[in-house]
Amino acid sequence: MTTQYDPLAATHTEQQNLDQPNVQGAERAASLVGGGLLLLGGLRRGGLLGLAQAALGAMVTARGVTGRCKAKQALTPSPFESQLQQEYGWTNAEAISRTITIGKPREEVYAFVRSVENLPLVLRRVERVQQMDTTHYHWIALGPQNRTVEWDAHIEQDVPNEKIVWSTESTAYMQHKGTLLFKDAPNGLGTELQVILACEPPAGTVGYAAASLISQFSGRELNLDLRRLKQLLETGEITHSLVTTTMNKAERMDSPASATSTEGQPYVGGSI
């Protein structure tokens, strides 16, 4: 039986309400006292700087009075991340999860993605994947500024039609651990494919915050790639509104919603 992750726990902080106080005890007391001092000091000081100091004081005081802080919340791992952190034995976890329904049987979806060499077709940033042995793969992709980045990954767990878990080698540039979960969708709608990508960011809240930015970016990217996988498996092709085929992968990445820009001519409505 594969591990089931609570989908509600998978979403990140912006969907969570601040119904429950997240600033408590000594921290809350410090906010109250410190905020109050800042506020009073600012008012006594006067002028523009004083006003700014008073405003900051008011915010910190509010944090103490209500026991709620949005800034702190954004830096706190979601329940889902805490769950992964425990499972993986990490000190810290940054994770994203995206699920898509593909109107094909589980066996077919599994077989397609398990043939890792298929993946560059749908993963827009991946140039190619070289198979080293049955479980080890060398990945070549476009990194930031379209520089080539490479890493090695191996499959840790492979339960046909249910689950694939892989991990990057410790020296990898894009160090992460990934899980694919395959479930039957209700009413014969095909397969629900869940992708979980997790990384162990460098120590503490600051590292978490940095990695958090990365994951927001890749969450959207992951969604787009999953859409392409769905298109390919359901329709046999990846949807394009390109007018001509002359662009290479890097050029397409750079023109997200535009089309063929052939020299000096206006480009024609289209996108990839």
Partner 1 sequence: MRALTWQAPNKLQVDTVPDPEIINPRDVILRVTMSSVCGSDLHLLDGYVPAMKPGDILGHEFMGEVVEVGSGISQFKKGDRVITISIIGCGDCEFCKRDDFSCCDNSNPNPQVTDLAYGQPCSGIFGYSHAFGGYAGSHATYIRVPFADVNLFKVPDGITNEQAVFVSDAAPTGYFGADNADIQRGDTVAVWGCGGVGQMAIRSAYLLGAERVIAIDRIPSRLRLAEEKAGAIVINYETTNVHEALLELTGGRGPDRCIDCVGMEAHGTQLDYAYDKAKQLMRLHTERGTVLRQAIRACRKGGTVSVLGVYGGLMDKFPMGAIVNKALTLRSGQQPGQRYANKLFEHIQKGELDPSYLLTHPMSLEESPRGYELFKHKGDECMRAVFMP
Point out which residues bind partner 1 (CB under 8 A).
101, 103, 189-190, 220, 223-224, 227, 230-231, 234-245, 256-260, 262, 265-272
DSSP string, 12-81: -GGGS---S----HHHHHHHHHHHHHHHHHHHHH-HHHHHHHHHHHHHHHHHHHH---HHHHHTSPPHHH
Q: Which is nearer to partner 1, 13 or 231 (CB)?
A: 231
Q: What share of the chain is helix, strand, coil (3-state, %, to 5)?
A: 45, 20, 35
Least distance between partner 1 and beta carbon 225 (Å): 11
Question: Least distance (Å) from partner 1 to the CB of residue 102?
Answer: 10
Complex with partner 1: residue 60 or 102, whichever CB lies closer: 102
Cβ proximity to partner 1: between 65 and 113 the closer is: 113
- Tokens (6 digits) for 191: 């397969």
- Residue 47 or 236: which CB sits closer to partner 1? 236
Distance CA 231, CA 233 (A): 6
Task: Give least dist CB 192 to partner 1, A.
Answer: 12
Angle at 134 between CA 140 and CA 125, to 5 degrees: 20
Structure tokens at 131: 């198979």
| CB of 13 or CB of 22, closer to partner 1 | 13
Name the minimum Å distance from CB 219 to partner 1.
Answer: 11
Cβ closer to partner 1: 133 or 237?
237
Please identify which residue in the block is written with the tokens 């979403």.
Answer: 11
Least separation in angstroms between residue 195's CB and partner 1 is 16
Q: How far apart are the first and last CA of the chain?
A: 38
H helices present in the chain, as ranges: 7-10, 25-45, 47-66, 70-74, 79-88, 106-114, 204-235, 249-254
List the beta bridge partners of residue 179.
Answer: 165, 196
CB-based contacts of 137, cutoff 8 Å, min separation 6: 116, 129, 130, 131, 152, 153, 154, 155
Nearer Cβ to partner 1, position 92 or 261? 261
Contacts for 13 with CB less than 8 Å, ≥ 6 apart: 73, 74, 76, 78
State the minimum distance, in angstroms, from the CB of residue 116 to partner 1: 23
Least distance CB 96 / partner 1 (angstroms)? 15
